[in-house]
A = this chain, B = another copy of it.
Amino acid sequence: MSRVQQADGHQLISSFDSFLFDADGVLWLGDTPLPGAADFLRHLVSAGKNVFIVTNNSTKTLDDYVNKCKRIGFDMLSDDHILSPAKVLAHILAKEKSDLPIYIVGSSGLQKELKKEGIESFGTGPDLVESYTNVESIQQMDISRKVRAVVASFDIHLSYPKIMRAANYINQAGVRFYATNPDPRLPGPVPGVIIPGSGVSMRAVQTAAGKEPIIIGKPSKTMFEYIKERFNLKAEKSVIFGDSCETDIKFGHVNGLTSVLVGTGVHDLNKVEEFEKQGREDLIPNYYTPSLKVLFDILQK
């Protein structure tokens, strides 16, 4: 722990005016709120700080997500301070002057989020290979529909026809390729079981299309650009709390934010040491705290 400092609540509150939080592994685990997390956030809000929840979750609609926050004690934040890649993408697309639809390799939750901003999309649900009998017939797939963008996200209906369709739409002139987030796996509730995430859809489509996606979620810049512009934030006065070095801490580095690794999720200080040995500067947090409860307890003293 040569370079990572132990975080201190008082010092953080005096140094920063905007506080971003990853959710799962930082504020809660599944449906269980983590001790001290809601107390810490409530303290920040009452101290007049900007507080945001910034998730990469794209399996639920944001409404479901907001409801969950309220249900398990995170009711101190207004809805527009709870941010997902789907919400930011909907905002980006809504600014465009185009009536063309979006092709989605993703969930109905993502589709609903786009629809709320008036953006038409298609492609959710199964696109069964049974509709094509063999390699020869799949070559006859109708890919002539005009779209303005393709989005790759978490999709339990991910299939060969969908990947092929996405790649061919991306190859149309002027069509943009977005990915909600690059996470290869979901934080699974069953220990040891791998649940493939948005990153799998993204890599499959990217490989077939031979083109890089514009990534919306952490660790890319897109989400913070949106927050910065909409809420008039300054990177140097902002801090991100996260449990994943590869997602949250890297998001801090990419956007010029200070970062705090919270030890209640996927990565601990041993992992940080490993990244230090590998020379992965972009994954090393500025601060570490075992939990948000530790920070809240410091504030009580």
Taking Cβ atoms with an 8 Å cutoff, the residues of A that contact B are 59, 126, 128-130, 132, 134-135, 138-139, 141, 143, 155-161, 163-164, 167-168, 171, 184-186, 188-190, 192-197, 199-200, 203-204, 206-210
Contacts of A192 in B (CB 8 A): 171
For the complex, give the distance between the alpha carbons of A207 and B139 in Å. Answer: 26
With contacts A126-B128, A163-B196, A184-B208 known, what are 17 further pairs, Cβ within 8 A? Answer: A126-B130, A128-B128, A129-B156, A129-B157, A138-B156, A139-B193, A143-B193, A155-B160, A158-B163, A167-B196, A168-B193, A171-B194, A184-B207, A185-B210, A203-B206, A203-B207, A204-B204
Chain B: minimal CB distance from A215 (Å): 14
For the complex, give the distance between the alpha carbons of A212 and B156 in Å. Answer: 23
Tell me which of B128, B193, B209 contacts A194 (CB under 8 A). Answer: B209
Chain B: minimal CB distance from A172 (Å): 10
Closest to A186 in B: B135
Contacts of A204 in B (CB 8 A): 158, 196, 200, 203-204, 207
A196 touches B171 (CB 8 A): no
Contacts of A157 in B (CB 8 A): 129, 159-160
